[in-house]
């Protein structure tokens, strides 16, 4: 921060009262914590690169990086003031002070999370709550659609969210913009409906596999939903669906349907009965279109697939919870093109491909990674078509990606 800017924000800091300063430093501490996690990850990555080189004894090969000045908590506080502004801080603190007038807490479930506020379903109605300062820096990790929360009303009638119950399940991924930060897509869901399209965009088993792993890690039951089956004839469908037999063989439920024609929607609705589910998948697969067919009153915005590339367009911007009949709750999420796995160790990946387990017992080495080792029974099973080659290739690609990210 330039000296002129620093002097300006130091003057702003002096204008704050004790309560406002307390909330400012809480935010600063959260921001510093997130930065430290990021720094540790970069440090680990640097050390791993050194371990894989043999000539580091030669000092000419080692170039020391200039150390950046350490920031103390006051520096972080000034950074928060720079990013958010003094008025935003004072407005939030005013609502926090007003909470002291009320002892009653209300219970609800988050329907949608937006910058600085959230929509909460409580006692049959929607309540817009501002987000307390304790969540301001960690909002994408600490608050998610599906979270069970408590809020209270300030004197002016403003609802302020101030606490979250521990999650039972979740679907999450690494934040694509901030290393070392978890971004939670949906919380407390029973089922993850992985929506893929038979055509436009092309079926991507590797993305399905990534979602399956995320669902297993988060304690969520996965369901594979193949949409747009009206776009191909029976002969072509049989050929395209061949790749999905591997998922049925390991006991996964695969539902074929069409949001356009309505075919198979009854089966999909039956699989979602009395459950809270989240629709996830590639952009353009028709997640929101399926939601609109299941719940016409949702009237969620949809978009078309790009005519030239066949890729989906990003239409849904925020995850949002909808209440359907028969006690069905559905969280609609923005489509993505890449899905990273949160906190995944390369050595643990093989355990998420359960069809490997039976054959892995006969591998020559107990810690076999099923990639290059001689005497690998899993690789032999792939060659003998006892394990899906598509699933195995997906395993290798995911392993390569997370190995790079962890090194």
Question: Would the annotation count 228 as a binding residue?
Answer: yes
What span, in angstroms and rounded, lies between the C-alpha atoms of 407 and 402? 9
Backbone angles phi, psi at 334, to 5 degrees: -65, 145
Closest CA to 20 of 68, 91, 69: 91
On whether 287 is known to bind a ligand per the annotation, the reply is yes
Distance from C-alpha of 112 to C-alpha of 147, rounded to nearest angstrom: 10
Rounded Cα gap, residues 178 and 156, in angstroms? 36
Is residue 283 marked as binding? yes
Other CB atoms within 10 A of residue 233 CB: 8
* Pairwise CA distance, residues 23 & 217, whole Å: 34
Assign residue 272 a region: left if phi > 0, alpha if psi is -120 to 50, beta otherwise? alpha
- Whether residue 289 is annotated as binding a ligand: the answer is yes
The verdict on whether residue 281 carries a ligand-binding annotation is yes
Answer yes or no: is 227 a known binding residue: yes
Q: Are 239 and 198 spatial neighbours (Cβ–Cβ below 8 Å)?
A: no
285 is in an annotated binding site: yes
- How many helices and strands, by DSSP H and E, does the chain display? 13, 13
DSSP string, 25-89: HHHHHHHHHHHHHHHHHHHHHHHHHHHT-S-TTSGGG--PPPPPPPP-HHHHHHHHHHHH-HHHH
- Residue of 246, 261, 265, 171 lying closest to 203 (CA atoms): 246
Residue 129 assigned ligand-binding role: no
Residue pair 405/352 in contact by the 8 Å Cβ criterion: no
Query: Rounded to 5 degrees, what are φ and ψ at 63?
Result: -115, 115
First-to-last alpha carbon distance for the chain, in angstroms, is: 32
Question: In this structure, is the dihedral angle defined by the CA atoms of residues 369, 375, 380 and 381, taken in order, positive or negative?
Answer: negative
* Residue 282 annotated in ligand binding: yes
> Is 335 part of any known ligand binding site?
no
Binding residues for GTP are: 227-230, 281-289
Binding residues for Zn(2+) are: 363, 368, 370, 376
Binding residues are: 227-230, 281-289, 363, 368, 370, 376
């Amino acid at each position: 921060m330039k000296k002129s800017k620093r002097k300006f924000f130091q003057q702003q800091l002096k204008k704050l009262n004790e309560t406002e300063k307390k909330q400012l430093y809480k935010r600063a501490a959260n921001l510093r914590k997130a930065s430290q996690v990021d720094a540790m990850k970069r440090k680990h990555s640097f050390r791993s690169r050194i371990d894989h080189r043999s000539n580091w004894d030669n000092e000419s090969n080692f170039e020391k990086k200039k150390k950046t000045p350490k920031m103390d908590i006051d520096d972080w506080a000034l950074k928060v003031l720079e990013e958010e502004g003094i008025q935003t801080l004072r407005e939030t603190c005013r609502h926090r002070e007003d909470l002291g007038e009320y002892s009653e807490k209300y219970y609800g479930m988050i329907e949608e999370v937006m910058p600085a506020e959230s929509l909460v379903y409580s006692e049959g109605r929607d309540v817009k709550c501002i987000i307390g300062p304790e969540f301001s820096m960690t909002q994408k990790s600490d608050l998610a659609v599906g979270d069970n929360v408590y809020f209270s009303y300030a004197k002016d009638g403003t609802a302020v969210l101030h606490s979250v119950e521990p999650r039972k399940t979740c679907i999450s991924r690494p934040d694509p913009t901030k290393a070392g930060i978890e971004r939670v897509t949906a919380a407390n869901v029973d089922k993850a409906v992985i929506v893929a399209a038979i055509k436009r965009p092309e079926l991507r088993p590797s993305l399905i596999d990534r979602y399956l792993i995320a669902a297993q890690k988060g304690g969520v039951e996965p369901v594979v939903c193949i949409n747009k089956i009206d776009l191909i004839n029976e002969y072509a469908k049989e050929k395209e669906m061949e790749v999905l037999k591997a998922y049925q063989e390991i006991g996964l439920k695969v539902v074929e349907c069409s949001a356009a024609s309505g075919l198979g929607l009854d089966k999909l609705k039956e699989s979602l009965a009395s459950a809270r589910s989240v629709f996830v998948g590639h952009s353009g697969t028709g997640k929101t279109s399926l939601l609109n067919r299941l719940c016409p009153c949702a009237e969620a915005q949809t978009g078309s697939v790009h005519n030239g590339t066949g890729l989906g367009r990003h239409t849904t911007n925020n995850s949002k919870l909808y209440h359907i009949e028969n006690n069905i709750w559905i969280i609609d999420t923005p489509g993505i093109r890449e899905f990273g796995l949160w906190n995944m160790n390369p050595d643990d990946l093989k355990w998420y491909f359960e069809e490997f387990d039976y054959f892995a017992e006969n591998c020559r080495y107990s810690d076999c990674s099923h990639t290059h080792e001689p005497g690998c029974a899993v690789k032999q099973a792939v060659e003998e078509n006892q394990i899906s080659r598509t699933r195995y290739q997906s395993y290798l690609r995911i392993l390569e990606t997370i190995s790079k990210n962890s090194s």
